[in-house]
Amino acid sequence: MKQIFIFLCAAVIVTACDLEKEIDIDGVEFREAINISGHISRQYGANVFVECTYPPQSHTYFNKKIDDAKVYLTSGGVKIAEIPASSYFEGLLYHIDIDTFSYNSYGVLVESGRLGTAYSAEQTLPDKVAADSVVVTESDNGSYMATFYFSNDENLPGYYCNARTADRDDGDIEKLFHTHFYGSDAIHYQEARKKDYCQISCVFYPASFDYDELEYYADFITLSPDLAKYLKSEAEYNTSQEDEFFDYPYPLYSNIKGGYGFFGAYTVSQTSGVVKGKWVYFE
């Protein structure tokens, strides 16, 4: 009897181990598709990164070109210009400097003989809105924080801010999405703005600590609805990826039909100024 008991105890422990096996699940079959990452602004024209998707967990660092892609800018559902490939990241990045107008709608359309057609929902380019004031403060660790104060406009879906110093050039193309966020206030969404008066902040760093005066540029950016949704989903996505538990991945917002990714619109209102620097000595 005792032996039977011990055997059954052992059986429970052995069989209660985690078991894994390969399975097929409907709805997650991989297919090559067009992925679009793009935006249009009054200041920087249209920048569209077009690439082909990889199967999940491909562990690659190389963006896959779509050799036969043709990329167009649309307005009102009509192609208004073909966006040529940029000399940077040839075959991946498409760039066009074009006169754009607030309150006009713009979209992107990508055609590929191999992968079909992908097109975005069109975005209304928001008008230029300036913050009422910008206050820059210095912290003990050598960074700066730019705080924008602005009155609420319920018609705008969201605001975004970034700032950089003149000696730290991140490049025009990159700067929109490479800004270091400060807390959750770097983006303000319409539904969060119950108050008449709001503020958002972002931090920036000088390239070195050795300076007397530091010139900075501070951007106050108004977002199209889809861009606001995308940035919001990106923040959630990044935190969910840190969560090891399976059930809570957070899909990024997409407004592309026939493919993946998103296309947004924004308008930048830029201010600049000078802050006094200080020498930092290291022992």
Partner 1 sequence: MKHIFLVGLLIAALSSNAQSFKLTGHLVDTETGESVLYANCIDENTGRGAVANNFGYFSLKVGSKARITISCIGYATTTTEFTIHGDTTVTIGVSPKTTAINEVVVSATVPVREQVMMGKTTLTPEMIKSIPSFLAEPDLIKTLAYLPGISLGREGYSNIFVRGGDRGQNLALLDGIKIYNISHVGGFLSLFNSDIVKSVDVYKGGFPAQYGGRTSAVIDVATKDGNNKRTAGSITLGTLTSSAFLESPLGKKVTFYLAARASYYDLLLKDQRDNFKEAEKELKPVTNNEYTGFSFFDVNSKIRWSIDATSNLALTFFLGNDYQHVYEQDIINYGSLKNDRHKNDYTIKNKGLSLTYAKSFGQLFWRNTVSVSKYDTKNINLSEENIGFDNYHKNRAKTITEIKDATLQSRLEYNLERHKIKGGVEFNRYSYNPGLEYTQFIDSINDEELTSGARSNIDAWENSVYFGDEIKISDRLSVEAGLRGTAYILTDTNYFRAEPRLAARYMLNGNTSVKANYTLMNQFNHVLVNNNSGMEEEIWLASNARIRPQQAHQVSVGIFYGNDERKINASAEIYYKLMNNLIEYRSPVSDNSVHEIEKSVFIGGKGLAYGLELMVSKDFESLTMSLTYTLSKNDRKFDDINNGEWYPFIFDRRHDLGVTAHYRFNRKWTVDGNFVFSSGRPCTLPVAEVPRNEIGFDHHYIYTGFNNCRLPAYHRLDLGVKRYFETDKGLKSQLSLNIYNVYARQNAVMAFYREGKVYQKSLFTIIPTLSYSITL
| Residues facing residue 145 across a β-bridge | 137, 203
Provide φ and ψ at 11, rounded to 5°. Answer: -60, -40
> For residues 267 and 43, is the Cβ–Cβ distance under 8 A?
yes
Closest separation in Å from C-beta 3 to partner 1: 12
Q: Is residue 251 at the binding interface for partner 1, with CB under 8 A as the rule?
A: yes
- Which residues are registered as beta bridge partners of 277? none
In the list 260, 271, 275, 277, the residue contacting partner 1 (rule: CB under 8 A) is 260
Is there binding between residue 195 and partner 1 (CB under 8 A)? Answer: no
Q: Kindly compute the dihedral angle of the four CA atoms of residues 8, 10, 14, 17, in this order, to the nearest 10 degrees.
A: 90
- The residues in 31-60 that bind partner 1, with binding defined as CB under 8 A, are 31, 33, 35, 37, 47, 49, 51, 53-58, 60
Contact flag: residue 61 with partner 1 (CB under 8 A)? yes
Stretch that binds partner 1, among 98-106, 127-135, 139-147, 176-184 (CB under 8 A): 176-184
- Binding string, residues 108-147; x marks residues near partner 1 by CB under 8 A: ----------------------------------------
Min CB(259)–partner 1 separation in Å: 10
Output 150 or 263, the one with its CB closest to partner 1. Answer: 263
Q: Which two tokens stand for residue 208?
A: 């070195």
The residue type of 57 is Q
- By beta-carbon proximity to partner 1, the closer residue of 45 and 277 is 45
Could you give the CA distance from residue 113 to residue 52 in angstroms, rounded to a whole number?
13
Closer residue to partner 1, CB minimum distance, 211 or 260: 260
Q: What would the two tokens of residue 149 be?
A: 């104060």
- Burial (CB count within 10 angstroms: exposed 0-12, middle 13-18, buried 19+), residue 10: exposed
Answer whether 176's CB lies under 8 Å from 201's CB: no
Binding residue (CB under 8 A) for partner 1 from 3, 15, 87, 141? 15
Least Cβ distance, residue 278 to partner 1 (angstroms): 27
